[in-house]
Amino acid sequence: LRRGRESALDGLDPQQRRAVLAPRGPVCILAGAGTGKTRTITRRIAHLVTTGHVRGDQVLAVTFTARAAGELRMRLAGLGVADAGTGPVQARTFHSAALRNLSYFWPRVYGEEPWQLLDGQFRAVAQAVRRVGLDPSTETIRDVLTEIGWAKSSLLTPDTYAEQAVALGRDLPAPAPEVARAFRAYEDLKVSGPVRMLDFDDLLGHMAELVEEVPAIAEEFRDRYRCFVVDEFQDVTPAQQRLLSAWLGRRDDLTVVGDVNQTIYSFAGADPDYLLGFAERHPQATVVRLESDYRSTPQVVDLANAVIGAGAGRFRSAGLTLRGMRPAGPDPVLTEYPDEDAEADAVAGAIADLVHGGLDPSEIAVLYRVNAQSERIEAALDEVGIGYRLKGGEGFFERTVIRRAMSTIDRLVDGTDEAVTEEHSSLTDPTDVVRVIRASLEPLGLTAAEPSGTQAREKWESLTALVGLVEEIATTEARPGLLPVVAGLRARAAARHAPDQRGVTLASFHAAKGLEWDAVFLLGVHEGSLPISHAIKAGPDAIEEERRLLYVGITRAREHLSVSWSRSRRAGGRATRRPSRFLDPVRPAPAPAGTRQAAESPDKGRCRGCGERLTGPMHRALGSCPDCSVEIDTGLFERLRDWRRETSERIGKPAYTVFTNDTLVQIAR
């Protein structure tokens, strides 16, 4: 290695080092959030290349998003192997790797026959939707597009799609057989023109097919690439796994790393069983667990462990328990508020305190389940004068559906619709005002019941949030009538600040994956929101995916973590909401009935190893500080895991361990 560059083995813990030094062949790294997964695989590649075990240009590192591939490339460049003399290591997404391969090998099989990457997939799906007589709304088209993507990722065809979609209770904009017909029409469209069109998912399938069926191509490909590495392997889909298997053939020089607890895309085809089953498929694999968390304080890590540890289902068999390696920080704050406004105001206030205390706003994030939830916190941040930006979405009043709704509402009062205005100018009762505005939004998709289909629901949620705002204005506005309420609504829209790129990040849990901040506020962690109501309807698998969403949210925080929920949607409303079931094991309320036993914890105040004063409930319960706990307590972690496993099996229900009031509590429900 050249001077000034990091060495491949610098700053690794023993487990990370084991993964880096494992001989060529199958390696499976099961790891938690913030445990250095990306660090470990980039170091492994650097180590293999710089010690001459493999040439750089024989390594193919793959991941799932362009952003993640860019991050891999950057880290490899920092280690001197993205541009090394031995030939650069390639870091790509599955799709870009397949595109590159296919462009190269296509003429070998198809000769002069032209093909083209389909751009404008939305237009093609729109055409297919119209052709089969489905409602061609943007929402339907986008949902059908999602379904086609999921079907192809899951290796389903227009013939096999509908049965699976029904069996899995997919959230569809139309009956499954009709979606299947649109899927077929779309496939036909792509091959009906003079040039064969391939979409991104076709790239994977075609490349896999070429390697599977043309021995010369398989041979050439396998000669070219000899060592494969996959980051975020819990997100691999059957279509991607098929391509990976084709690439490998009978070889097994493959390193995979992932965190099954961060599987939040199974609705898009991600299948963590490939990660969980890796060691079984490759009995000679080196299996390494990374459980030391370098990102978050021990308190944040404890909370993440408690939430995920109480989960049910097959993912728990990974049996990973995170250990916080950082010094203790403030305890996470769990707070219940009477209503959403009180919640948003308190969160904005706490953010203002942190900022005034010197924390950079860009080091703070507010996360929520659905984008419609951003409205209250946007308003509250505006009020305290803190800038913000929305990640992976637009500000509430910028969204197309809300802009349309606002112009619809304008028509009620601006005289362009005479009939409407005459009829409503005399309204004085707030309930009537809300009813009229609500009725005007029905044509935009505000149905009485929550609609099916992801896109339609998202729109419905935004419109419902807008009506909530109207209700609030109508009940607090001193002057009665439609006009003052609409004026109030316009004033709210006008008061929204322009996005501030260096401000606080507002994002959905999904959009926060892979990112980290010093302070994280999780909003709306109540039943119906997390788990979201349609997941509750869909059943246990969908609910467990919601639990993992909460885990992803919690583990984004380095220091400060706030989790909150409100009992009612608006001030004075009926307090019907319950805190999320996922918080049951960690809420300050009494633990559920069942057997409880406290583990012994000698001299709680000081570390058994070094005598240091202890902060944080978990380390006080263990009786050892973060530095010493690894050596002293590895046995304890294993004993706890065994206890949970045995007890769960014995009683047929999840059992879990939590730390409360400095005491280790083992709970079997």
Paired tokens of 29 = 């790294």
The dihedrals phi and psi of 127, each to the nearest 5 degrees, come to -60, -45
33 is in an annotated binding site: yes
37 is in an annotated binding site: yes
Contacts of 226 (CB under 8 A, 6+ apart): 54, 58, 59, 251, 253
Closest separation in Å from C-beta 325 to ligand ATP: 7
d(CA 53, CA 89) in angstroms, rounded, equals 13
Closest separation in Å from C-beta 15 to ligand ATP: 9
Judged by CB, which is closer to Mg ion: 38, or 373? 38
Closest separation in Å from C-beta 667 to ligand ATP: 27
Question: Closest Cα partner for 386 from 358, 432, 415, 355?
Answer: 355
Closest separation in Å from C-beta 502 to Mg ion: 24
Q: Which stretch binds ligand ATP (CB under 6 A): 8-16, 105-113, 635-643, 647-655?
A: 8-16
Judged by CB, which is closer to ligand ATP: 28, or 486? 28
Q: Specify the amino acid at residue 302.
A: D
38 is in an annotated binding site: yes
Q: Tell whether residue 535 is a contact of ligand ATP (CB under 6 A).
A: no
Which residue has 């061609």 as its token pair? 136
Q: Tell whether residue 39 is a contact of ligand ATP (CB under 6 A).
A: yes
Question: Closest Cα partner for 516 from 560, 558, 562?
Answer: 558
34 is in an annotated binding site: yes
Q: Tell whether residue 38 is a contact of Mg ion (CB under 5 A).
A: yes
Instruction: Say if residues 382 and 497 touch (Cβ distance below 8 Å).
Output: yes
Q: Specify the amino acid at residue 178.
A: E
DSSP helix, strand, coil percent of the chain (3-state; round to 5): 50, 15, 35
Q: What angle do CA 95, 202, 101 make, to 5 degrees?
A: 50
How many binding residues for ligand ATP (CB under 6 A)? 16
Instruction: Say if residues 631 and 609 touch (Cβ distance below 8 Å).
Output: yes
Judged by CB, which is closer to ligand ATP: 34, or 361? 34
Contact residue for ligand ATP among 37, 43, 44, 424 (CB under 6 A): 37
Judged by CB, which is closer to ligand ATP: 41, or 427? 41
d(CA 567, CA 529) in angstroms, rounded, equals 12
Q: Which stretch binds ligand ATP (CB under 6 A): 31-39, 540-548, 563-571, 619-627?
A: 31-39
36 is in an annotated binding site: yes
The DSSP line for 220-272 is: HHHHH--EEEESSGGG--HHHHHHHHHHHTT---EEEEE-GGG---GGGT--T
d(CA 230, CA 248) in angstroms, rounded, equals 13
Contact residue for ligand ATP among 36, 158, 445, 585 (CB under 6 A): 36
d(CA 565, CA 578) in angstroms, rounded, equals 8
Judged by CB, which is closer to Mg ion: 38, or 263? 38
Count other C-beta atoms under 10 Å from residue 528's C-beta.
16
d(CA 444, CA 389) in angstroms, rounded, equals 27
Q: Which stretch binds Mg ion (CB under 5 A): 25-33, 35-43, 420-428, 433-441?
A: 35-43
Q: Which stretch binds Mg ion (CB under 5 A): 30-38, 173-181, 217-225, 347-355?
A: 30-38
Judged by CB, which is closer to ligand ATP: 259, or 527? 259
Judged by CB, which is closer to ligand ATP: 78, or 415? 78
Comparing every residue's Cβ against ligand ATP, the nearest one is: 36
Q: Tell whether residue 11 is a contact of ligand ATP (CB under 6 A).
A: yes
Instruction: Say if residues 522 and 505 touch (Cβ distance below 8 Å).
Output: no
Judged by CB, which is closer to ligand ATP: 35, or 440? 35
Q: Which stretch binds Mg ion (CB under 5 A): 38-46, 210-218, 451-459, 578-586?
A: 38-46
35 is in an annotated binding site: yes
Closest separation in Å from C-beta 180 to ligand ATP: 36
Q: Tell me how far CA of residue 220 lies from CA of 59, 118, 211, 264, 327, in angstroms.
A: 15, 27, 9, 36, 51
Instruction: Say if residues 491 and 474 touch (Cβ distance below 8 Å).
Output: no
Q: Tell whether residue 34 is a contact of ligand ATP (CB under 6 A).
A: yes
Binding residues for ATP: 31-38
Binding site for ligand ATP (CB under 6 A): 11-13, 16, 31, 33-39, 259, 294-295, 514
Binding site for Mg ion (CB under 5 A): 37-38
Binding residues: 31-38
